[in-house]
Amino acid sequence: MTDNFRSRLRNGETLLGTMVTLSTPSTAEILADVGFDWLFVDGEHGPLDTSDLLAILQTVSRRVACLVRVPVADEVSIKKVLDLGAAGVIAPQVNTAEHAANVVSWSRYSPVGTRGVGLARAHGYGLRFQEYVETANETVSVVVQAEHARAVDNIESIVKVEGIDAILLGPYDLAASLGKMGQVDDPKVVAAIKHVTQTCRAAGVPLGMFGVTAKALTPYLECGYTLIVGGVDTLMLGTSAKRMLSDLRANLTANSSDSTSSD
């Protein structure tokens, strides 16, 4: 069920997801049917525009929770994806407590926030308006990303912002901001991640992490990260295709060798 995703997240349940970047709704549909707890729909990088996001959410959001990363963590972007029916928002590059508080406010209706009121897919195009606005503040997830050196410096104040449901580490952007492009295992990057980890755990704020492989994510699972993003649709497609091609070529070579030996 998608409507209890926020409570599962806040209760510390481990939630396994993957990243959707391709604009074809069938890709998200396949991933939803695999059995992931949630999908990270990436509206920040890649080609997804509003119509793409709508098509993806229409296809899968009633079977699996879809959290959408907005291109920029501002009021209009957040309002738009939530009105499309996203189960939650992922706000990139949140580096201060003030920005984090704004993200929460833009994601919540009055009296606890300032989210604009409209009639859209989330509201059943008006047919379920009252039901949605009465429950959205309790069901919509707000995840902020700590992916810059400034966020690390300010993490003690960020975790105190009421209404943040989880903090998701962005290891690659964090490494780049520390002058360690692509070097996510560099001691400086590891130390920054450790600081964020310890601060969030002390504050009782759930932690999330992206990893290209299950192996890369294992250490974070072991130390209590619960919002997990494993892999990317494009990379999984390419990796699986390469493996298939390699296996076919290996079989072809083996059959050719067998044929030669029998002659």
- The whole-angstrom separation of Cα 38 and Cα 14 is 11
- 91 forms bridges with which residues in the sheet? 144
Sequence-separated (6 or more) residues with CB below 8 Å from residue 238 = none
25 prior amide bond cis, ω within 30:
no
Give which of 42, 147, 28 is closest to 99, Cα–Cα: 147
Structure tokens at 204: 């009782």
One-character DSSP codes across 137-183: HHH-EEEEEE-SHHHHHTHHHHTTSTT--EEEE-HHHHHHHTT-TT-
Give which of 243, 210, 203, 235 is closest to 225, Cα–Cα: 210
- The whole-angstrom separation of Cα 147 and Cα 124 is 35
Long-range contacts of 246-250 (CB under 8 A, 24+ apart): none
Catalytic residue among 45, 99, 123, 148: 45
Give which of 177, 164, 175, 239 is closest to 208, Cα–Cα: 164
The answer to whether residue 45 is catalytic is yes
Residues annotated as catalytic are 45
